[in-house]
Amino acid sequence: MTLRSMDILRQQAQGALSLNIAFIGVVNGLFSALHTLGSADSARLAAAAKMDPGYVLRWCDAAYAFGWLELVEDRWRLSEDGVSMCPEAENSRMGVAVGSVLAAHMAERAAGLMRTGERPGEQVLAERETILPWFGLMLENNFRKTFEEKICPAVPIFAEVDARGGVAVDLGCGNGWYLRALLRRCHQLRGLGLDGFAENIRQANVKAAAEGMSDRLSFTEGDIHAFDLPKPVDLIAMNRALHHVWEQRGEIFQRLRNHLKTGGAIVIWEPAWPDDHRVLNEPALRGMAFQNLTEHIQGNHFLHPQEIAAALGEAGLQAQIFPFGSDAVVVGRL
């Protein structure tokens, strides 16, 4: 290995360390508390965040070392990068920090499970109690802007459903970010989100209220395999969730079809697994290649968009694929 290669490797390792420090600050409210305080010594910051002073003292030193904090007259304040890690900040980057630590957890699990072939399922996502409460916000942070600025304007079904004042359902809604983003653009639309985790539903209802959408948007616990809607709806969405239930696709698509109005649609948003795996070394696809390894732990794998379109066709729907870089949206119309 050349000296230049070693330098690059060290820089990459330091980047991972930096995101580890940021993750600690995100999940323990340290960035948010210091943003509110403006500046503070470590003892005052610890009191405001209700954290142990000894840990906070050492976190401040580490966060300063990696550029998340600045030191002004013996008081800490957020750097510009530190402000970007506040979950409440516009265009927050906290999802990168949460995703980095989640990736490290999944890598460690893959290293051990590879020896036995065990695939324990989605429960691995809940094995780290500091990560799970932030999972929905991480997805929002990573994908909401893409949906609002690229996907929603380019996929005609959203405007069509909005024009008739329809109802959109999001299965596996997480913290409700997808429906909140959709209803922000589609002012006549109403939404219902279903998710199997009570914490996700709690967060979704709180955020809908905060964004003034409680009159058009509601969330409830529901099972994708057993949900039942009181009457047919105009649109049913599954976002980055179909690959988790792909083996039951026939049953699930039939259930979804049965809950659609005439002229309604199923809208599937998934990573688009390439036909030629040799393109996976392109920078835009590297993350997908890693994540597909972690999906194997959960008993899943990423899908080709053509597979999804074919399955929708078998369910009696007319399918159309909308490519968006390393992702694809597949719409099946009734």
Q: Do 89 and 187 fall into the same domain? A: no
The CATH number of residue 267's host domain is 3.40.50.150
Q: Do 316 and 195 fall into the same domain? A: yes
Q: Does 87 have pLDDT greater than 70? A: yes
Residue 105's H or E segment, with its range, is helix 94-113
Last residue of a domain, one of 71, 94, 117: 94
Structural domain for 23, as ranges: 3-94
Look up residue 174 and give its two tokens.
């997480």
Q: DSSP secondary structure string, 2-18?
A: -HHHHHHHHHHHHHHHH
Residue 219, domain member (yes or no) = yes
The CATH number of residue 11's host domain is 1.10.10.10
Q: Do 151 and 237 fall into the same domain? A: yes
The least confident of 6-10, 99-103, 273-277, 309-313 is: 6-10
Q: Do 169 and 33 fall into the same domain? A: no
Q: Does 222 have pLDDT greater than 90? A: no
pLDDT at position 126, please? Answer: 83
Q: What mean pLDDT do residues 247-256 have?
A: 93
In single-letter form, the type of residue at position 192 comes to: L
Q: What is the mean pLDDT of the chain?
A: 94
Q: Do 71 and 168 fall into the same domain? A: no
- For residue 194, count CB atoms less than 10 angstroms from its CB and return exposed for 0-12, middle for 13-18, buried for 19 or more: buried
Please answer whether residues 305 and 268 qualify as being in contact, where contact means their C-beta atoms are separated by less than 8 angstroms.
no
d(CA 86, CA 32): 5
Please answer whether residues 235 and 267 qualify as being in contact, where contact means their C-beta atoms are separated by less than 8 angstroms.
yes
Which whole-number Å values give the CA distances from 160 to 120, 184, 235, 309, 319, in the listed order?
41, 15, 10, 21, 16
The 3-state secondary structure of 128-160 reads CCCCHHHHHHHHHHHHHHHHHHHHHHHCHHHHH
Residue 161, domain member (yes or no) = yes
pLDDT at position 3, please? Answer: 65
CA dihedral 87, 91, 93, 99 (to 10 degrees): 90
Residue 100, domain member (yes or no) = no
Q: Does 70 have pLDDT greater than 80? A: yes
Q: Do 48 and 150 fall into the same domain? A: no
Look up residue 233 and give its two tokens.
């709806």
Q: Does 327 have pLDDT greater than 90? A: yes
Q: Are strands 75-78 and 69-72 parallel, antiparallel or unpaired?
A: antiparallel
Residue 1: which pLDDT band, with cuts at 50, 70 and 90?
A: low
Query: pLDDT of 270-287, one tens digit each?
Result: 999 999 999 999 999 999
Last residue of a domain, one of 55, 73, 94: 94
Residues in contact with 110: Cβ distance below 8 Å, sequence separation at least 6, in sequence order: 293, 294, 296, 297
Q: Do 38 and 152 fall into the same domain? A: no
What domain count does the chain have? 2
Look up residue 135 and give its two tokens.
């999972």
